[in-house]
Amino acid sequence: VEKDTNGEVLWVWCYPSTTATLRNLLLRKCCLTDENKLLHPFVFGQYRRTWFYITTIEVPESSILKKVTHFSIVLTTKDFNPEKYAAFTRILCRMYLKHGSPVKMMESYIAVLTKGICQSEENGSFLSKDFDVRKAYLAGSIKDIVSQFGMETVILHTALMLKKRIVVYHPKIEAVQEFTRTLPALVWHRQDWTILHSYVHLNADELEALQMCTGYIAGFVDLEVSNRPDLYDVFVNLAESEITIAPLAKEAMAMGKLHKEMGQLIVQSAEDPEKSDSQVIQDIALKTREIFTNLAPFSEVSADGEKRVLNLEALKQKRFPPATENFLYHLAAAEQMLKI
């Protein structure tokens, strides 16, 4: 996508092809079409199971691209790996700057697609296998989240455990992306980053796609989203360091002794200067496993022998504190363990 000296933004070239809907979405995400003229070097997000990664650069005077002031390289993929695709789109950008034609980019794209490797314009090469997905999962900082929200981090953990809808707001897209990409690590046992929608606009089509998901983490840079309680169970105002639970989600999200213990463990682990982020994630994962161990005695194999279902009577007989029983029940629901 190019921006020319007249300020026009043009979708210049595309391979292999795209739909009109996806094209409009990508133009919306690409900062060149943004009125406020802020340059975002790298943004990423997801729309209907397609990930998009966009690198944008300013064109230096010396470039072969004469009438172009800025351009964005947009890459769509089926996987989540921001570091990998930031590195690859940067290489493609340098090629486009040097040659001013998509041919070289095309060659590299096909090379990466087929062989997992391409040479960069400078020395060295890009290797797909250098970018393990687990590295991408661990790239954010849980410690930063806990230092900002402290005990309230347990609200986020609970919401994720129960597959609730989390909306995150901050005026800066970089802050939104950094925060949202880290949240799925709070429920490491699922290793599911498909719930992440790190860059969403208040656009009817995007919101419709989002609302088709059971639980999600959605990032917005428009504060207007706070007036859309139909979109969230938990609202995080990153700019103000505030977490709000929507009225309708309060019952399922009621906190008790179990949550307090979890919160204390999260804070204690994250505040330990000796521990790395991945060790903190491991601590939270172990404590989370204990919660599932709590649930195990009240689950039985369903009549058709297909899966485990919750025995509600057995759970009630245990006489857990109300908040714990309530949480375990909702957790079973989130894990699709309820008898229909």
What's domain 135-253's superfamily in CATH? DENN domain, C-terminal lobe (3.40.50.11500)
pLDDT recorded at residue 280 = 98
- Which residues have CB under 8 Å from 109's CB, separation 6+? 15, 92, 118
- Which residues have CB under 8 Å from 73's CB, separation 6+? 54, 55, 56, 89, 92, 93, 96, 105
Per-residue confidence band for 34, with pLDDT thresholds at 50, 70 and 90: confident
CA angle 14, 18, 20 (to 5 degrees): 115
pLDDT recorded at residue 143 = 98
Whether 115 shows a pLDDT value over 70: the answer reads: yes
Whether 37 shows a pLDDT value over 80: the answer reads: no
pLDDT recorded at residue 123 = 62
**pLDDT, mean of residues 291-319:** 87
pLDDT recorded at residue 120 = 78
**pLDDT, mean of residues 241-267:** 97
C-alpha dist (Å) from residue 212 to 190, 200, 225, 246, 323: 20, 14, 18, 19, 29
pLDDT recorded at residue 50 = 97
**pLDDT, mean of residues 37-48:** 93
CA angle 139, 191, 167 (to 5 degrees): 75
Which tens digits make up the pLDDT trace of 45-78?
999 999 999 999 999 988 899 899 999 999 999 9
Which tens digits make up the pLDDT trace of 259-275?
999 999 999 999 999 99
**pLDDT, mean of residues 96-123:** 90
pLDDT recorded at residue 119 = 85
* 199 in Cβ contact with 219 (< 8 Å): yes
Per-domain boundaries in the chain: 2-131, 135-253, 257-335
Least confident among 24-33, 121-130, 203-212, 237-246? 121-130
pTM: 0.95
